[in-house]
């Protein structure tokens, strides 16, 4: 990166470090932090959406819909994450390719399953094998977002389902007495009030999601843990200009600091949201706020 970095073996101290920390490999490492944060920022709202849909479905008076919502939460919550991430994603990818294959290559005569192999026509590949690497990476990232959302959506559905039932029955009854329809009661009374009951569960889920991001590497996305493992590994002078011993401890300590900072910032944000949502609620926190304001 810097002009003096051409021969690192002659460098020492801070100059060496400045060269070492700006190698292409380290740039990949820094970029992976962005990847993780972007993943979190996209996954959280999408998972919440899945959760909301799941919870609303489970509450539905229409039996098939309520069964669908309940099955989704029950099955996804029961399957171990690692199994889900290893097999579900491959299955999902194959399902997409299978559908594209049926549409794009109707004349294809060979079977799609040949022994262990999964073979679709070239045009049905997703992404096409001719596409540049970044498209493959984006596709992998999108699959990761979808998988994380499905898994965490199931947990969120259960949390929201519980929260919807925690809203005092008197509130809903009053709404009905005013002549609101079921739909109006749901959107105007139930949904605005349920968040305060859902928040502790949702903040737990967020923390677990933050810690689950290293599963990204199972999906072929290079995350911070992958790079820390790779960069911290022993480097010999034959294959690297910056030979060093096993530096895993240093890199993992860096990750520890990053994760702790991330969780502590989230903790503070959740605290503020709780305060806002407690306002005017028939809960102990809401009552305390009312008294303080008097």
**Contacting residues toward another protein, per CB under 8 A:** 23-25, 27-28, 86, 90, 93-94, 97, 114-120, 125, 129-130, 133, 136, 217-218, 220, 222, 229-230, 233-234, 236, 238-242, 245-246, 248
Nearer to another protein by Cβ, of 59 and 125: the residue is: 125
CB of 13 to another protein, least distance (A): 19
Toward another protein, which CB reaches closer, 233 or 256? Answer: 233
In the complex, what is the shortest distance from the CB of residue 115 to another protein, in angstroms, rounded to a whole number?
A: 6
Cα–Cα nearest to 230, from 238, 242, 222, 241: 222
Measured between alpha carbons, how far is 27 from 3 in angstroms, rounded to an integer?
17
Q: Are 4 and 11 in contact (CB under 8 A)?
A: yes
β-pair type (117-118, 113-114) = antiparallel
DSSP state of 114: E
If the CB atoms of residues 74 and 95 are measured against another protein, the closer one turns out to be 95
Rounded to a whole number of angstroms, the minimum distance from the CB of residue 78 to another protein is 23
Least Cβ distance, residue 75 to another protein (angstroms): 22
Nearer to another protein, 128 or 166 (CB): 128
Q: How far is CA 157 from the centre of its chain?
A: 15
CB closer to another protein, 136 vs 290: 136
Work out the burial of residue 144: count CB atoms within 10 Å of its CB; fewer than 13 is exposed, 13-18 middle, 19 or more buried: buried
Smallest distance, another protein to C-beta of residue 116, A:
5
Which residue lies nearer to another protein by CB, 9 or 275?
A: 9
Q: Among all chains, which residue has been given the structure tokens 């299978």?
A: 98
| Rounded alpha-carbon distances, angstroms, from residue 158 to 13, 43, 202, 211 | 54, 17, 10, 20
Distance CA 121, CA 129 (A): 11
- Return the half-sphere exposure (C-beta side, CA atoms, 13 A cut-off) of residue 161: 22
Taking the CA atoms of residue 88, residue 93, residue 97 and residue 100 in that order, the dihedral angle to the nearest 10 degrees is 100
How far is 98 from 120, CA to CA, in rounded Å? 7
Alpha helices in 105-132 (DSSP H): none
Given a contact cutoff of 8 angstroms between Cβ atoms, the answer to whether 143 and 92 are in contact is: yes
Shortest distance, CB of residue 26 to another protein, whole angstroms? Answer: 8
Q: Which residues pair with 113 in a beta bridge?
A: 118
Least spacing, CB of residue 144 vs another protein, in Å: 14
Q: Are 155 and 84 in contact (CB under 8 A)?
A: no
Q: What is the nearest approach in angstroms of another protein to the Cβ of residue 34? A: 15
Identify which of residues 248 and 290 has a Cβ nearer to another protein in the complex: 248
The nearer residue to another protein, 80 or 115, going by C-beta atoms, is 115
């Amino acid at each position: 990166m810097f002009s003096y970095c051409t021969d690192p073996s002659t460098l020492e101290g801070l100059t060496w470090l400045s060269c070492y920390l700006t190698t292409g490999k380290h740039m990949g490492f820094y970029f992976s932090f962005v990847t993780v944060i972007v993943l979190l920022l996209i996954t959280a709202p999408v998972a919440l959406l899945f959760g909301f849909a799941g919870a609303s479905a489970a509450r539905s008076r229409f039996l098939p819909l309520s069964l669908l919502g309940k099955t989704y939460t029950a099955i996804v919550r029961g399957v171990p994450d690692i199994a889900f991430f290893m097999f579900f994603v491959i299955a999902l990818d194959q399902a997409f390719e299978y559908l594209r294959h049926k549409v794009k290559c109707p004349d294809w005569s060979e079977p799609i399953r040949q022994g262990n192999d999964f073979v679709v026509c070239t045009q049905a590949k997703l992404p096409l094998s001719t596409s540049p690497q970044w498209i493959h990476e984006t596709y992998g990232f999108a699959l990761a977002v979808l998988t994380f959302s499905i898994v965490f959506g199931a947990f969120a559905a259960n949390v929201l389902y519980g929260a919807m039932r925690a809203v005092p029955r008197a509130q809903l009854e009053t709404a009905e007495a005013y002549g609101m329809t079921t739909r109006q009661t749901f959107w105007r009374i139930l949904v605005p009030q349920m968040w305060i009951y859902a928040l502790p569960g949702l903040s737990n889920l967020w923390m677990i999601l933050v810690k689950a991001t290293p599963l990204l590497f199972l999906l072929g996305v290079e995350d911070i843990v992958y790079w820390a493992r790779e960069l911290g590994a022993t480097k010999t002078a034959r294959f690297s200009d910056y030979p060093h011993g096993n530096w895993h401890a240093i890199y993992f300590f860096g990750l520890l600091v990053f994760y702790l900072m991330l969780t502590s910032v989230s903790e503070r944000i959740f605290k503020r949201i709780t305060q806002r949502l407690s306002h005017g609620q028939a809960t102990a926190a809401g009552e305390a706020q009312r008294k303080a304001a008097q």
